[in-house]
Amino acid sequence: MVPQSFSAGEVLRGKYRVERVLGAGGMSIVLLARHLRLDQQVAIKVLNPDHLARPEAVRRFAREARAAARLRGEHVVRVLDVDESAAGAPFMVMEYLQGRDLREVLRAKGPLGVRVAVDYALQACEGLAEAHSLGIVHRDVKPANLFLTTGPGEKVLKLLDFGISKTAPAPQKPGATATGLVLGSPAYMSPEQLRSPAGVDARTDIWSLGVVLYELVSGARPFQGPSATSVMAQIAADQPLPLRALRPDAPAPLEQAVARCLAKRREDRYPDIAELARALAELTPTGKALAERVARFTAPRVTEDVTIPPQARRPLEADGDTTLPSSLGRRTAELSAEKPEPSLVPAPPPQPAPRPASPRRSWLLFAATVLAAGAMTGLAILWLRGQGPPADLVSQGAPPIPLAARTLDAVGEADAAQGLHVPVLPPGPDKTTSSEDAGVVVAKPSARPGRQARPDHSHPPPSADPTELPLK
């Protein structure tokens, strides 16, 4: 029977028909339902209606949905939808997983083989690496939140329940953790998480995974006691038994890796989950490949150094045959429509071509021609009369042509051809324009920030409570 207000056959939001209960816990209920339009089974996690009046419970549920929905990897349960029931109870729709969590596996089988345990730990590392790469700290890693699917092919481990996850580095919001309230499972919590849940980082998940690995191999938790208080006291002050004291056949490197995960000071643990994966890689045949997948999430960002190929760097030729990259070509076309582009490279001075003279220049040439003709006529008359030309006229010669009427130099010629104003320079020696006088336009494509390489996964995962998952 479906508890509370949910009944078999009930349809949520017009598309999810409830079939049965998969599990029920203090905070939520997990239902098996069918998507009517897709004819696909899904798991629906609903906040227990008894907690609707508790703002912290509603916030925690929403936090889990937001965190899980951001993750797209193979080793995190996939969230498909988020909504609320007609009664106002929020729910999230997740992929339906068939299998059991590692808590049930331990209860049924006891300690696992070293290679199997390490393989599961490495799969958990990949799920955590993805979360950490997005600034999400799980804060509740334990066997009940590591679900082992039993589909065709190899078994895949899925990370569940981001209900008390923390998104770093955002500061703690008021009410996120009530005074004196410890969120999580004390036996798997790091010393710093016991002191201040809001002040933890990714290394608290490394501690918790170390506890899980210790338990998978030895069959016992490293810190035990008759009450949660005594367990927390041991975590804060005591050292656990070495792993090989309980499992003599465990490899020494595994014992050392677990011991480093359980260092009291987080500075003494592995700096990130990828380092832990590298330490475990040699302990299982698939370890190296799994560790490489984990490392992809934590690899530093690389900025691509874009090198301009020689043909793109080459300046435009005079005939305009050089091809620009398409983006630069479009931009060049836009600019050319606005105003003429300066030449990319100064061209050799062109030979002046015959051209119509300006009105002023035509008048000056006409006046000079008249004066020269008059002078020649006078000289001819005097010569015919047998007199020499006046000394002053011979010494003066024809009047000089003004500078404005001189042939323009190469730069002035180009400017005049574009209809630009050419200033009249004072009399002086002719100035030759060097190649440095012309501006050179250089197109600089900006470097594109590189993307983080990520493994190519199919669609990813969501989350559910340990006790709220299907048992088989």
- The 10s digit of each residue's pLDDT in 112-143 is 999 999 999 999 999 999 999 988 899 999 99
Check whether the bond before 310 is cis (ω within 30° of 0): no
C-beta contacts of 368-372 below 8 A and 24+ residues apart: 368/398, 368/399, 368/401, 371/398, 371/399, 372/398
pLDDT digits (tens, 9 = 90+) for 223-263: 999 999 999 999 999 999 999 999 999 999 999 999 999 99
pLDDT digits (tens, 9 = 90+) for 271-314: 999 999 999 999 999 999 999 999 998 755 433 333 333 333 33
pLDDT value, residue 178? 40
Question: Could you tell me if 272 and 260 are in contact, meaning their C-beta atoms sit under 8 angstroms apart?
Answer: no
338: in domain: no
Report the alpha-carbon angle 465-56-468, nearest 5: 10
229: in domain: yes
Concatenate the DSSP letters of all residues of 303-351 into one string.
Answer: ---PPPPHHHHSPPPTT--PPPPHHHHHHHHHHHHHSPPPPSSPPPPPP
435: in domain: no
Length of the chain: 472
228: in domain: yes
Question: Could you tell me if 468 and 161 are in contact, meaning their C-beta atoms sit under 8 angstroms apart?
Answer: no
Q: Residue type for 122, please?
A: L
Q: Which two tokens stand for residue 190?
A: 């790091």
CATH label of the domain that carries residue 270 = 1.10.510.10
449: in domain: no
pTM of the model: 0.60
pLDDT digits (tens, 9 = 90+) for 452-462: 444 444 333 44
Structural domain boundaries enclosing 27 = 11-175+182-301+458-468
Distance CA 33, CA 46 (A): 12
Q: Give catalytic status of residue 83 as yes or no.
A: no
418: in domain: no
317: in domain: no
Question: How many domains does the chain fold into?
Answer: 1
Residue of 101, 119, 140, 205 marked catalytic? 140
57: in domain: yes
